Structure 1
Amino acid sequence: MQSTSTTAFHKHATPAGVLIAIGIVFGDIGTSPLYTLNAVFHNRVITEDVALGALSAIFWTLFFQTTLKYVIITLQADNKGEGGIFSLYALIRRLFGKWIVIPAMAGGAFLIADGIITPPISVASAVEGMQKISPHINTVPIVVCILILLFIFQQFGTDKIGKIFGPVMLVWFTFIGVLGLMAMSHNFAVLKALNPWYAYVMLSQAPGGFWLLGSIFLCTTGAEALYSDMGHCGRNNIRVSWIYIKVMLILAYAGQTAWLLQHVGEEIGTVSPFYHIVPDAIYLPTLITATMATIIASQALISGCFTLINEAIRLDLWPRHRVVFPGNIKGQIYIPFINWFLMAGCIGMVLYFRESTRMEAAFGLSVTLTMIMSTILINFYLYTKRFPVPAIVLITGLFLAIESAFLTANLQKVKEGGWITLLIGSCLFIVMVVWRSGRRITTSLKKIVTVDGYVELLKQLSTDNNITKYATNLVYLTSSGSPRRVEKTAIDSILSRSPKRADIYWFVHVNVLDEPYSMHYRVDTIVKNDIYFIEFNLGFRIEPRIDYYFRQVVNDLVKSGEVDVSGRHEQCYQESRIGDYKFLLTDSFLSFENDMPFVKNFLMKSYFNLKYISVKEWVNFGLDPSNVTVEKYPVVVTPVAYTPLLREH
C-alpha cells in the first residue's frame, strides 16, 4: 500500500509543483526544437511535402509516444511514488521470473548511453547559433568549456541554482511558443499539417521519406525523463505542466515549418530553422536563453543518470560506487565515478563529431531501444493491474509498432555515428550482465550453516579469559536473510583461524526492498547477551549507513533491557554504553585453483576485475574504517583436477 502522503503528492497539482516539473522534467524534450527540423532537412532541399509531413509526424509522435505512452499510461506505474525503468523492474520482478531483468538492464544501459550524447548535442545546437552572427567561429572550445564547468559543478549539488530552473524553463517555453506564433502569423494554414494525412504523404511519397523518422524521433527523446522524474515532481504536476509544454512545442515547430515553406527549393545551411525565425533585435538574448535552457536540460539528464545508477547499485545490477549526497533535496545524489565517466564521454563526442548536425547521427538510436524495453516492462505491469488482455495486446502492439518503425529508421544512423552509442550501451549492458551473473555465482558458492550448531562454542569462547578479547561487540555482515543461518566463512573467521573472543556476536543483514524510501529493522535474539541477528530493511534509494544504524539499534536494545551490558568490567572506563565494536567483513578473491570453461572463466575474471575497481564494502555500507577489518577468502568455482604427485625412491 502506498502511504497517504505519497498518494497526496501524486494526486494534487500545485503552482509550485508545476513550476518545478517544468524546470526538471522537460529540459531535454524542450530543447529539441533547436535541432529536430535541422536534422530532418540536413543535406536535403526543402519541399512542401516534407515540411508539412515533418510537422504532422512530430505532432503525432508527441501524441502517441509522449502524451499517451508516458503521460497517461506509464506515469500510473509508480513504485511507492518513484518512477524510472529500474523502479518499474523492481515493481514487477517477483511476478514474472528472472528473465525480466534483461529488458530492464538493456533499457537502463542505453538510457545512460543517451546521457553521453544529449548534453553535447543540446549545448552545441544552442551555441552554434553564434554562427549566424559570425559564420566562421569555432564553437567546439566553447561547448567543451561549458560541459566541463557543468560536470565540475555537480559535486556541489543543485540546491540553490535548482531554484532558477523552473522560472528559466518557463521563460524558455513561453518564448519559443510566442516565437513560433509570430513566425506563422502570416501563414496559419501551416496548422493543417496536424492532419495525419500529411505525415502519411511524407513517409510514402517523399524520396527517402520513411528514413526521415530517424530525425523526427528527436522530438520525443526526452520522454523517458517524464517517468524517471516522477518521484521528484509528482504525477499530476507533470501531467498538468505537459499541457502547456506541448502547446508551446507545437507552436515552435509550426513557426519553423512556416519559415521552411517560405524557402521551398533551398537548403537551410548550417544554422537551424529555429534561429532563422528569431528577429535580429532579440537574437543575442535568444542565444543566451537557449544556451541556459540546454545547460538545464543537460543538468537534469546528468542527475537522472546518477539516480539510475544508484538504483542499479541497490538492486545489485551494477558495481558499487561511492554515492555522495551533496544537497538537502531528497533524492539528490552525486556519484563521482559516473560524473567523470559522463564528462569524458561528452567531451569525446564533441571532439569526434564537432558539429551538432553530425551528432544527430548518433542521437536517438539508444533512446529508441530504451523505449522498446520500457514498453515490454509496461506490458507486464498492465498484467499485474489486471487490464483486459485485448487492451494490453492493443496497447503493447501499438507502441511496439511505432517504436519498431523508429528503430528501423534509426538504423541508418549506425554507420553515420550511431555505432558509438550502440557500442557504449552494449558495453554498459555487458557490465550489468557480468556483475549480476558474477554475484549470483559467488553467492551460490557460499556455504550457509545454522548458527544453532555453534551456539555452545560461541558462548564458551565469549567467556574464555585465556584468549585476548578481540572486541566487546563483533559484527559480521551476512548475505543470509535467515536469523538462524549465516555464511560458513563468518563462523570460520570466529572459530577456526585465530579465535576472536567478544562479549556479543552480531550478525547483520541488509535487505534492499523493492520500494524506494522504507527504513525499518527487526532483531532476533539467538542467545541473550551473546548472539543477535539484525535485519535492516532499506529502500533502494536509501543510503545504507550501517555504522550509524547499528549504534542506534544497540542503544535502543540496551535501553529496553534486551541487551544487558552492566556486567562488563571495562564499562566504567568507556564513555559509550555499548562499548567498542568491530565490523569484520569477509571479501572473496578468485582462486588459482580453478579449471573453468572459457566463457565462465571470462565471466568470473571480468566480475572480479569490476569488483576490484568498485568501491569497497565498508564504503558501500557506510562503515567507519577505524572499526573495520577485512578478511580474504578464495572462491573456487570449478576445482582443478590435479594429477597426483609421485614420490621418487
Structure 2
Amino acid sequence: MNAGKVKQSLSAGGLLIALGIIYGDIGTSPLYVFKAIVSQGVLDTALIYGGLSCIFWTLTLQTTLKYVIITLRADNKGEGGILSLYSLVRKQGKWVVFPAILGGAALLADGMITPAITISSAVEGLDIFYPGLQTMPIVLVIVGCLFMLQRFGTAVIGRIFGPVMLLWFSMMAFVGLTQLWHAPGIFRAINPWYAVQLIIEHPNALFIIGAVFLCTTGAEALYSDMGHCGRRNIRISWIFVKLCLLLNYFGQGAWLLSSEALPSGNPFYQIMPSWFLPFGISIATAAAIIASQAMITGAFTLVSEAVRLNVWPKVRIVHPNMLKGQLYVPSANWILLIGCILVILIFGESAKMEAAYGLAINLSFIVTTVLMTVFLLHKRIPAYLSYAFLLFYLAIEISFLFGNVSKFSHGGWLTVLITALLFSVMLCWWWARKIKNRHTRFVEIKDYYNVLAELGSDKSVPLYASQLVYLTSANFESEIEEKIIYSILRKKPKRADIYWLVHVDVTDAPYTGEYKVTHLVPGKLIRVDFRLGFRDEQRISLLFRRVVQDLIANHEVDIRSNFDTLRKRNMDGDFRFVVLEKVISNSASFSFAERIVLDIYSVLRKFSLSDEKGFGLDSSFVTVERVPLIAPTVSRSIKLKRVK
C-alpha cells in the first residue's frame, strides 16, 4: 500500500489514494451482506425493506456520524487508529490501557478473517459458470501469494489501488442502478420504521442484526488510515463511496423484490447481466485482494505501534523500500497467514465465515466509543454531550454485539478465541514490564560523580572501552539504576574515557525525533535523552552516532582515542554498549497472578527480539550482562553449623 503522509490536503490525487487505501474492507461488504440477510428466513417485503433500512441507518449513524464526522476529529498529529487514540488519552487514567489493547487484539483478529471472507466471496462467483467448483484451493493460492509478496513491499501495486477501487465503486453503482426499475419504491426503506419493525417482529432478528453489522466492518479503517490520506480527503471521498454502496444495496433489494423465491446464489452477482459476469468477478477479486492488502498493512502498522508503546513483544520490523510508512513485520505476517489459512480450512466457504466475521470488529467499535468519550472529556466537551455520545453508541454497538454473539456457536467462537489469545499476549507483556519497572531500584547519580571521574582516569584499571554506553530507564537526570552502578564499579570495574547514559522516551505523538544532551560531569559523564514518537524507528545505534557527530561539530566532546599511537593519528576511540538483561530469579517475591504473568512473559521473550536488536544496536559492539531483577537475600531459615 502506498503508505506515508501523502496527499494530506484536499486534492484529486488525495481522493483517489483514499479510495485505494481505506475503503477496501467496507467497499467489498456488498459481496456478502445481503446474502447473509436473506439467508435468515422467508424472503418477503418486510425482510428486504427492513434489511435495507438497517443497512442505510447503520452506514449513516455508525460510519458517517460516529467515524467520519466525530472520530476523525481525534487526530494525533494527523494520525489515527486505536493506539493513536490511546496515546492521546493514556494520561487520563491507567485503566485506558485495557480497552486499548482489547481493541488492538480485535483488529489483529479481524486481519485474519477479512482476507478469508472477502477473497472467498469474490472467487465463489465462479460457481455461476462452473457449478460445484471447489473454490477453496483457489482462495488458498491467492491468500498464500498475497502474504508471500508482503516482504517485497507494495509500492508498485499500491499505485493502481486507487484506479481499481474507483472502477469497483463505479461498477457497483451502475449495476445497482440498472435494477432499480424493478421496484422504484424501494427507497421507502430509508424510513427507519422498517428497521424497527424487522428487529421487533422477525424471529431471527439477532442473526439479521449480526448480518447487517457486516456492512460497516471497515469503518475503523477510515480512522486508522487517516495519516495516509488526511481528514478532508476521507470525508469528501466517503460521500461518493456511501452513494455507490447504497445504490448497490438498494439494487440488490429491488432485484430480490422481483424474485419469487430465495436466490440460489449470491444476489451481488445475480443482479449482473450474464455477459458482464466475467468482468464483474474479476474486478471483485481484485477489490477483495486490495481490501485484504489494506487490512494486512494496517495490522503491520498496529503491531509496530504496539511495540513502541510496550504492549507487544519486540519483533523485527523491515522497511522494504524508502517510502515512509512502508512496513513489513515478518512475525505478524506469519501469524496473519496461519490464522487466515485456519479460517479458510475450518469454514470452507464465505457463507460459514460470516458467523465468525464481525464479532472482533464489534469489540473494536465499542473500545473506540469508550476511548473517544475519554478524549471528548479531555477536550472539555460538555459532560452531558460526551456521555450522550457514549450511551447512544454503546446502545447501538451492544445491540450489534448481541447479534454477533448469537452466532457464537456457528463460528463466532473462533473470533473470540483468537482475540482472547492476542489480548493475553498484549496484557502479559505490558503487565510484566510494569512488574519489572516496579522492582527496579534507582539511586542518586550525583553521589557517584567523583568515583566515576576518578575511575575514568585510573590507569591501574584496564581500559574497558573508550566510550562506554548504557541504556537507562531512569526518567530523571538525577537518577540512575542501581544495577548500572553495580556493573561499572563492582561486577567488574569498567574504565572508560567517557561514560554515556542513553534514555529513550516514547511520546504521545506519532513522530517526534528530538534529543537532549546533559553534561553531568563535563568530559566524563554525559546523558542523552531521545524523544521519539510511537511510529519513529528506535535505531538507537544510528541515532546515537548522529548525536555524537553533532557534539563533535560543536566542540562539546572529544572522542579521540587516548592511546598514544592512535591519538597521534587523530583516530577515534571505540564504542561499547552495555545492555543489562533483568533475570527473574526470586519468584517467591511475587503474587500468584504475577508469577503466571512472568512465566508467560519468559516464554514470549524467547520469541521476541533481544534488547540490543530491539533498539537497533550493532551486536558486535554490545555486551549483554544478566542481572537479577530482585537481588537474592540470605534467608534466616537456612541452618548452617561451623566446625573446626
The TM-score with structure 1 as length reference comes to: 0.95
- Aligned partner of residue 517 in structure 1, secondary structure: coil
2:171 to 171, 175, 191: 175
d(CA) in 1 for partners of 2:499, 2:378: 43
d(CA) in 2 for partners of 1:47, 1:113: 35
- Per-residue deviation at 1:314? 0.9
1:55 maps to amino acid? L
- Per-residue deviation at 1:568? 2.6
Please tell me whether residue 154 in structure 1 is matched to residue 150 in structure 2. yes
Aligned to 1:188: 184
d(CA) in 2 for partners of 1:315, 1:187: 53
d(CA) in 1 for partners of 2:487, 2:183: 80
Please tell me whether residue 439 in structure 1 is matched to residue 433 in structure 2. yes
- Per-residue deviation at 1:538? 0.5
Aligned to 1:519: 513
Aligned to 1:380: 374
Aligned to 1:114: 110
1:389 maps to amino acid? A
d(CA) in 1 for partners of 2:400, 2:491: 61
Is the 1:587–1:633 Cα contact (8 Å) retained in structure 2? Answer: yes
1:83 maps to amino acid? G
Is the 1:126–1:291 Cα contact (8 Å) retained in structure 2? Answer: yes
1:537 to 521, 526, 531: 531
Is the 2:467–2:499 Cα contact (8 Å) retained in structure 1? Answer: yes
Aligned to 1:337: 331
- Per-residue deviation at 1:575? 8.4
In the TM superposition, what are the counterparts of 1:134-533 in structure 2 within 5 Å? 134-264=130-260, 266-269=261-264, 271-533=265-527
Deviation sequence 1:130-156 (CA, Å, 0-9, x none): 111111111111111111111111111
Closer, same or farther: CA 642–363 of 1 in aligned 2, 3 Å: farther
d(CA) in 2 for partners of 1:497, 1:184: 81
Is the 2:466–2:561 Cα contact (8 Å) retained in structure 1? Answer: no
Is the 1:478–1:509 Cα contact (8 Å) retained in structure 2? Answer: yes
Deviation sequence 1:342-396 (CA, Å, 0-9, x none): 0000000000000100000101111111101110011111112222222222222
d(CA) in 2 for partners of 1:550, 1:148: 40
Please tell me whether residue 647 in structure 1 is matched to residue 644 in structure 2. no
- Name whichever of 427-436 and 119-128 sits farther off: 427-436
d(CA) in 1 for partners of 2:488, 2:337: 45
- Per-residue deviation at 1:491? 1.1
Q: Which portions of structure 1, spanning 4 or more consecutive aligned residues, are displaced by more than 6 angstroms?
A: 573-576, 637-640
d(CA) in 2 for partners of 1:79, 1:592: 41
Deviation sequence 1:159-213 (CA, Å, 0-9, x none): 1110000000000000001010012233221111111121122112223234310
- Aligned partner of residue 275 in structure 1, secondary structure: helix
Percent identity, aligned pairs only, is 46
1:46 to 37, 43, 48: 43
What is the root-mean-square deviation in Å for CA atoms of aligned residues? 1.9
d(CA) in 2 for partners of 1:278, 1:405: 34
- Aligned partner of residue 459 in structure 2, secondary structure: coil
Aligned to 1:64: 61
Closer, same or farther: CA 252–637 of 1 in aligned 2, 3 Å: farther
2:248 maps to amino acid? A
List alignment gaps of at least 5 residues for structure 1: none
- Aligned partner of residue 326 in structure 2, secondary structure: coil
Please tell me whether residue 74 in structure 1 is matched to residue 71 in structure 2. yes
Count the aligned residue pairs: 640
Deviation sequence 1:584-612 (CA, Å, 0-9, x none): 10001221563544322111111122122
- Aligned partner of residue 160 in structure 1, secondary structure: helix
1:138 maps to amino acid? Q
Is the 2:586–2:632 Cα contact (8 Å) retained in structure 1? Answer: no
d(CA) in 2 for partners of 1:287, 1:640: 73
1:579 to 573, 578, 587: 573
- Aligned partner of residue 182 in structure 2, secondary structure: coil
Is the 1:593–1:639 Cα contact (8 Å) retained in structure 2? Answer: no
Is the 1:594–1:637 Cα contact (8 Å) retained in structure 2? Answer: no
Is the 1:474–1:504 Cα contact (8 Å) retained in structure 2? Answer: yes
d(CA) in 2 for partners of 1:42, 1:143: 23
The TM-score with structure 2 as length reference comes to: 0.96
1:36 to 33, 38, 58: 33
- Name whichever of 451-460 and 236-245 sits farther off: 451-460
d(CA) in 2 for partners of 1:401, 1:391: 15
- Aligned partner of residue 466 in structure 1, secondary structure: coil
- Per-residue deviation at 1:640? 9.1
Deviation sequence 1:519-562 (CA, Å, 0-9, x none): 11000001111100000001110001111111111121122121
- Per-residue deviation at 1:637? 9.0
- Name whichever of 245-254 and 99-108 sits farther off: 99-108
d(CA) in 2 for partners of 1:221, 1:417: 17
Please tell me whether residue 101 in structure 1 is matched to residue 97 in structure 2. yes
- Aligned partner of residue 155 in structure 2, secondary structure: coil
Is the 1:180–1:256 Cα contact (8 Å) retained in structure 2? Answer: yes
1:232 maps to amino acid? H
- Per-residue deviation at 1:120? 0.1
d(CA) in 2 for partners of 1:522, 1:43: 63
d(CA) in 1 for partners of 2:118, 2:161: 16
